[in-house]
With several copies, the nearest count.
Chain A
Amino acid sequence: MSPDIFEITREPIDKPGLEQRLVTGAAGAVVTFDGVVRDNTKGRSVLTLQYEAYEPMAVKEMQRVGEEIRKQWPDVERIGIVHRFGELKISESSIVIVVTSPHRRVAFEACRYAIDRIKQTVPIWKKEIFEDGEAWVEGQRPDSDQNHGR
Protein backbone atom coordinates (compact mmCIF):
# COMPACT_ATOMS: atom_id res chain seq x y z
CA MET A 1 0.00 0.00 0.00
CA SER A 2 1.31 3.42 -0.91
CA PRO A 3 2.27 5.53 2.11
CA ASP A 4 1.07 8.62 0.27
CA ILE A 5 -2.18 10.33 1.26
CA PHE A 6 -4.92 11.54 -1.10
CA GLU A 7 -8.15 12.65 0.50
CA ILE A 8 -11.28 14.68 -0.06
CA THR A 9 -13.04 15.94 3.03
CA ARG A 10 -15.83 18.20 4.22
CA GLU A 11 -14.02 18.84 7.50
CA PRO A 12 -11.29 21.42 8.18
CA ILE A 13 -7.92 20.04 7.09
CA ASP A 14 -5.55 18.98 9.86
CA LYS A 15 -2.36 20.36 8.34
CA PRO A 16 0.04 19.58 11.21
CA GLY A 17 -1.38 16.07 11.43
CA LEU A 18 -0.90 15.56 7.71
CA GLU A 19 2.68 16.79 7.84
CA GLN A 20 3.47 14.58 10.79
CA ARG A 21 2.31 11.47 8.92
CA LEU A 22 4.70 12.28 6.06
CA VAL A 23 7.96 13.17 7.82
CA THR A 24 10.18 10.10 7.55
CA GLY A 25 13.64 9.71 9.04
CA ALA A 26 15.20 10.18 5.62
CA ALA A 27 13.35 13.46 5.08
CA GLY A 28 15.29 16.71 5.40
CA ALA A 29 12.78 19.00 3.69
CA VAL A 30 9.06 19.41 4.15
CA VAL A 31 7.38 21.78 1.69
CA THR A 32 3.74 22.57 2.26
CA PHE A 33 1.34 24.45 0.02
CA ASP A 34 -1.79 25.65 1.75
CA GLY A 35 -4.45 27.26 -0.41
CA VAL A 36 -6.59 29.58 1.67
CA VAL A 37 -9.73 31.53 0.83
CA ARG A 38 -8.88 35.11 -0.18
CA ASP A 39 -11.12 37.91 0.99
CA ASN A 40 -11.39 39.37 -2.50
CA THR A 41 -11.26 38.60 -6.20
CA LYS A 42 -9.88 41.46 -8.25
CA GLY A 43 -10.97 43.83 -5.52
CA ARG A 44 -14.51 42.50 -5.11
CA SER A 45 -15.18 41.32 -1.54
CA VAL A 46 -15.71 37.60 -1.16
CA LEU A 47 -17.87 36.29 1.69
CA THR A 48 -17.37 32.55 1.28
CA LEU A 49 -16.33 30.00 -1.31
CA GLN A 50 -18.41 26.93 -2.14
CA TYR A 51 -16.45 23.91 -3.36
CA GLU A 52 -18.12 21.05 -5.16
CA ALA A 53 -16.27 17.80 -5.89
CA TYR A 54 -16.80 14.69 -7.97
CA GLU A 55 -15.44 12.79 -5.02
CA PRO A 56 -14.32 9.37 -6.25
CA MET A 57 -12.87 10.76 -9.45
CA ALA A 58 -11.16 13.59 -7.60
CA VAL A 59 -9.34 11.11 -5.39
CA LYS A 60 -8.30 9.09 -8.44
CA GLU A 61 -6.97 12.19 -10.17
CA MET A 62 -5.03 13.23 -7.07
CA GLN A 63 -3.49 9.75 -6.97
CA ARG A 64 -2.55 10.16 -10.60
CA VAL A 65 -0.77 13.43 -9.80
CA GLY A 66 1.07 11.53 -7.10
CA GLU A 67 2.16 8.90 -9.62
CA GLU A 68 3.38 11.60 -11.99
CA ILE A 69 5.42 13.12 -9.18
CA ARG A 70 7.02 9.83 -8.20
CA LYS A 71 7.99 9.23 -11.81
CA GLN A 72 9.46 12.70 -12.24
CA TRP A 73 11.13 13.01 -8.82
CA PRO A 74 12.14 9.55 -7.57
CA ASP A 75 13.76 11.09 -4.50
CA VAL A 76 10.43 12.18 -3.04
CA GLU A 77 9.83 10.57 0.33
CA ARG A 78 6.09 11.16 0.82
CA ILE A 79 3.23 13.04 -0.83
CA GLY A 80 0.06 14.17 0.89
CA ILE A 81 -2.82 15.97 -0.79
CA VAL A 82 -6.05 16.81 1.02
CA HIS A 83 -8.74 18.87 -0.69
CA ARG A 84 -11.71 20.18 1.23
CA PHE A 85 -15.17 20.83 -0.20
CA GLY A 86 -18.38 22.44 1.00
CA GLU A 87 -18.61 26.04 2.20
CA LEU A 88 -15.37 27.70 3.28
CA LYS A 89 -14.82 30.98 5.07
CA ILE A 90 -12.08 33.55 4.49
CA SER A 91 -8.61 32.22 5.42
CA GLU A 92 -9.79 28.62 5.68
CA SER A 93 -7.73 26.05 3.78
CA SER A 94 -9.26 24.54 0.66
CA ILE A 95 -6.24 22.40 -0.14
CA VAL A 96 -3.09 21.33 1.63
CA ILE A 97 -0.24 19.65 -0.25
CA VAL A 98 2.78 18.30 1.60
CA VAL A 99 5.87 16.84 -0.04
CA THR A 100 8.83 15.49 1.92
CA SER A 101 12.23 14.62 0.47
CA PRO A 102 15.84 14.31 1.63
CA HIS A 103 16.78 17.64 0.03
CA ARG A 104 14.80 20.79 -0.58
CA ARG A 105 14.88 21.20 -4.34
CA VAL A 106 12.82 18.09 -4.98
CA ALA A 107 10.23 18.93 -2.35
CA PHE A 108 9.76 22.46 -3.71
CA GLU A 109 9.50 21.35 -7.33
CA ALA A 110 7.17 18.44 -6.63
CA CYS A 111 4.88 20.49 -4.39
CA ARG A 112 4.54 23.22 -6.98
CA TYR A 113 3.93 20.68 -9.72
CA ALA A 114 1.20 19.10 -7.60
CA ILE A 115 -0.85 22.27 -7.20
CA ASP A 116 -0.40 23.22 -10.86
CA ARG A 117 -1.62 19.80 -12.01
CA ILE A 118 -4.47 19.63 -9.54
CA LYS A 119 -5.84 22.86 -10.92
CA GLN A 120 -5.82 21.28 -14.38
CA THR A 121 -7.17 17.79 -13.79
CA VAL A 122 -8.95 17.23 -10.47
CA PRO A 123 -12.74 17.52 -10.82
CA ILE A 124 -13.53 20.17 -8.26
CA TRP A 125 -15.32 23.46 -8.87
CA LYS A 126 -15.68 26.57 -6.81
CA LYS A 127 -18.20 29.33 -6.64
CA GLU A 128 -17.52 32.70 -5.10
CA ILE A 129 -20.23 34.16 -2.91
CA PHE A 130 -20.16 37.95 -2.88
CA GLU A 131 -22.28 40.33 -0.85
CA ASP A 132 -24.38 41.06 -3.89
CA GLY A 133 -24.22 37.91 -5.95
CA GLU A 134 -22.27 34.80 -6.77
CA ALA A 135 -20.19 33.41 -9.62
CA TRP A 136 -18.56 30.13 -10.57
CA VAL A 137 -14.83 30.52 -10.95
CA GLU A 138 -13.90 29.79 -14.54
CA GLY A 139 -11.42 27.00 -14.99
CA GLN A 140 -9.09 26.70 -17.94
CA ARG A 141 -10.03 24.43 -20.80
CA PRO A 142 -7.48 21.60 -20.74
CA ASP A 143 -6.61 22.11 -24.41
CA SER A 144 -5.49 25.62 -23.61
CA ASP A 145 -2.66 24.06 -21.64
CA GLN A 146 -0.01 21.97 -23.27
CA ASN A 147 0.70 20.07 -20.08
CA HIS A 148 -2.73 18.58 -19.85
CA GLY A 149 -2.45 15.81 -22.41
CA ARG A 150 -1.87 12.30 -21.19
Chain B
Amino acid sequence: MNQDSIRINVLLFGACREAAGISELGCDLSLPATAANAWTELKRQFPALAAFERNALVAVNEEHARMDHILNDGDTLAIFPPVSGG
Protein backbone atom coordinates (compact mmCIF):
# COMPACT_ATOMS: atom_id res chain seq x y z
CA MET B 1 0.00 0.00 0.00
CA ASN B 2 1.42 3.37 -0.94
CA GLN B 3 0.86 6.63 0.87
CA ASP B 4 -1.66 7.91 -1.67
CA SER B 5 -4.26 5.34 -0.75
CA ILE B 6 -5.86 3.70 2.26
CA ARG B 7 -7.53 0.41 2.95
CA ILE B 8 -10.73 0.32 4.95
CA ASN B 9 -12.99 -2.44 6.20
CA VAL B 10 -16.55 -2.28 4.98
CA LEU B 11 -19.53 -3.84 6.75
CA LEU B 12 -22.99 -4.00 5.19
CA PHE B 13 -26.21 -4.56 7.08
CA GLY B 14 -29.87 -5.23 6.46
CA ALA B 15 -31.26 -4.63 3.01
CA CYS B 16 -27.89 -3.17 1.89
CA ARG B 17 -26.12 -6.40 2.82
CA GLU B 18 -28.78 -8.40 1.04
CA ALA B 19 -28.62 -6.27 -2.12
CA ALA B 20 -24.82 -6.45 -2.29
CA GLY B 21 -24.79 -10.14 -1.42
CA ILE B 22 -21.87 -9.58 0.94
CA SER B 23 -21.59 -8.57 4.56
CA GLU B 24 -17.93 -7.62 4.85
CA LEU B 25 -15.09 -6.69 2.52
CA GLY B 26 -11.89 -4.70 2.29
CA CYS B 27 -11.84 -1.62 0.09
CA ASP B 28 -8.93 0.48 -1.24
CA LEU B 29 -9.49 4.20 -1.68
CA SER B 30 -7.33 7.03 -3.05
CA LEU B 31 -6.60 9.91 -0.74
CA PRO B 32 -8.26 12.11 0.30
CA ALA B 33 -11.15 9.71 0.95
CA THR B 34 -14.59 10.34 2.44
CA ALA B 35 -17.45 7.98 3.19
CA ALA B 36 -19.05 9.30 -0.01
CA ASN B 37 -16.02 8.15 -2.02
CA ALA B 38 -16.29 4.70 -0.47
CA TRP B 39 -19.99 4.62 -1.28
CA THR B 40 -19.26 5.44 -4.93
CA GLU B 41 -16.69 2.66 -5.08
CA LEU B 42 -19.10 0.18 -3.48
CA LYS B 43 -21.87 1.05 -5.94
CA ARG B 44 -19.39 0.39 -8.76
CA GLN B 45 -18.60 -3.04 -7.33
CA PHE B 46 -22.21 -3.84 -6.36
CA PRO B 47 -24.59 -2.01 -8.69
CA ALA B 48 -27.65 -3.17 -6.71
CA LEU B 49 -26.60 -0.76 -3.97
CA ALA B 50 -27.66 2.13 -6.17
CA ALA B 51 -31.22 1.47 -5.01
CA PHE B 52 -30.15 2.86 -1.62
CA GLU B 53 -28.71 6.09 -3.01
CA ARG B 54 -31.16 8.23 -1.07
CA ASN B 55 -31.39 6.10 2.07
CA ALA B 56 -28.00 4.65 2.87
CA LEU B 57 -26.51 5.70 6.20
CA VAL B 58 -22.97 5.22 7.38
CA ALA B 59 -21.08 4.68 10.58
CA VAL B 60 -17.33 5.01 10.96
CA ASN B 61 -15.67 2.97 13.68
CA GLU B 62 -19.03 2.23 15.28
CA GLU B 63 -20.23 5.84 15.41
CA HIS B 64 -22.94 7.35 13.23
CA ALA B 65 -21.26 9.58 10.62
CA ARG B 66 -22.07 11.76 7.66
CA MET B 67 -21.15 11.06 4.06
CA ASP B 68 -18.49 13.78 4.17
CA HIS B 69 -16.69 12.02 7.03
CA ILE B 70 -12.98 11.71 6.20
CA LEU B 71 -11.68 8.15 6.28
CA ASN B 72 -8.31 7.00 7.54
CA ASP B 73 -6.41 3.83 6.85
CA GLY B 74 -7.83 0.93 8.85
CA ASP B 75 -11.20 2.55 9.53
CA THR B 76 -14.31 0.42 9.63
CA LEU B 77 -17.11 1.85 7.52
CA ALA B 78 -20.58 0.40 8.02
CA ILE B 79 -23.30 0.97 5.45
CA PHE B 80 -26.96 0.34 6.16
CA PRO B 81 -30.51 1.55 5.60
CA PRO B 82 -32.32 3.54 8.32
CA VAL B 83 -32.50 1.45 11.48
CA SER B 84 -35.69 -0.44 12.33
CA GLY B 85 -35.02 -2.15 15.64
CA GLY B 86 -37.17 -2.27 18.74
- Beta-carbon contacts under 8 Å, A116-150 to B: 118-127, 136-142
The answer to whether the Cβ of A18 comes within 8 Å of any Cβ in the partner chain is: no
Query: Out of A35, A54, A58, A142, which one reaches B82, CB within 8 Å?
Result: A142
Majority SS of interface residues in chain A?
mixed
How big is the A interface, by class? 20 to 34
The answer to whether the Cβ of B84 comes within 8 Å of any Cβ in the partner chain is: yes
Interface contact A125-B86, CB-CB below 8 Å? no
Closest CB of chain A to B22's CB: distance in Å?
14
Interface contact B82-A121, CB-CB below 8 Å? no
- Contact A140/B85 with A52-B13, A56-B62 known, Cβ cut-off 8 Å: no
The answer to whether the Cβ of A57 comes within 8 Å of any Cβ in the partner chain is: yes
Interface contact B82-A138, CB-CB below 8 Å? yes
- Contact A125/B78 with A119-B86, A142-B57 known, Cβ cut-off 8 Å: no
Closest partner residue, chain B, to A83 (CB atom):
B85
Q: How far is it, in angstroms, between the C-alpha of A82 and the C-alpha of B14 when the chains are bound?
A: 20
- Neighbouring B residues of A60 by C-beta, 8 Å: 62-63
Closest partner residue, chain A, to B18 (CB atom):
A136
Query: Out of B11, B15, B59, B86, which one reaches A35, CB within 8 Å?
Result: B86
- Neighbouring B residues of A120 by C-beta, 8 Å: 83
The answer to whether the Cβ of A94 comes within 8 Å of any Cβ in the partner chain is: yes
Closest partner residue, chain A, to B57 (CB atom):
A142
The residues of B with any CB-CB pair to A shorter than 8 Å are 11, 13-15, 17-18, 55, 57, 59, 62-64, 78, 80-86
Q: Which 6 A-B pairs have the closest CB atoms?
A: A124-B85, A139-B82, A125-B14, A139-B84, A57-B62, A137-B84
The residues of A with any CB-CB pair to B shorter than 8 Å are 35, 51-54, 56-58, 60-61, 83, 94-95, 115, 118-127, 136-142
